[in-house]
Amino acid sequence: MNHPIYRVESFEVVAPYTLKVRFDDNTEQTIDFQPVLAGRLYGPLQELSLFNQVNIDPEVKTLVWPNGADFDPATLHDWPEQVEALIEAAQRWNLTPA
């Protein structure tokens, strides 16, 4: 299975829960994360002050948050193809007892 490797080069907050992400292949995605912020890992990011503490991990070059949340850079790169499955997963995470 061929799994492309992408690296996040930079990001910009463009709206609440929305980031414009630039990758090492000179492509960009504008990503609204709000629909996938659910469950134990991503749910805390619904607190905008925590969400806005996003950074780029210097080693793996992906977006990371102080609570340990992150996304595979390939998922971010291919967000339009991934988002529906992520939203479905987030809905299941909300049903899972803490």
pLDDT in tens, 39-49: 999 999 999 99
3-state secondary structure of 14: strand
What is the pTM assigned to this prediction? 0.90
**What is the model's pLDDT at position 97?**
56
pLDDT exceeds cutoff 70 at 79: yes
Domains of the chain: 8-95 (3.30.2020)
Residue 70 and residue 57 in contact, taking contact as beta carbons nearer than 8 Å: yes
The pair of structure tokens assigned to 75 is 């998922």
Structure-token match 């948050």, residue found: 65
Instruction: Give the amino acid at 63.
Output: L
Question: 51: how many CB neighbours lie within 10 A of its CB?
Answer: 21
- Name the pairing type of β-strands 55-56 and 28-32: unpaired
Lowest mean pLDDT among 10-14, 53-57, 75-79, 85-89: 85-89
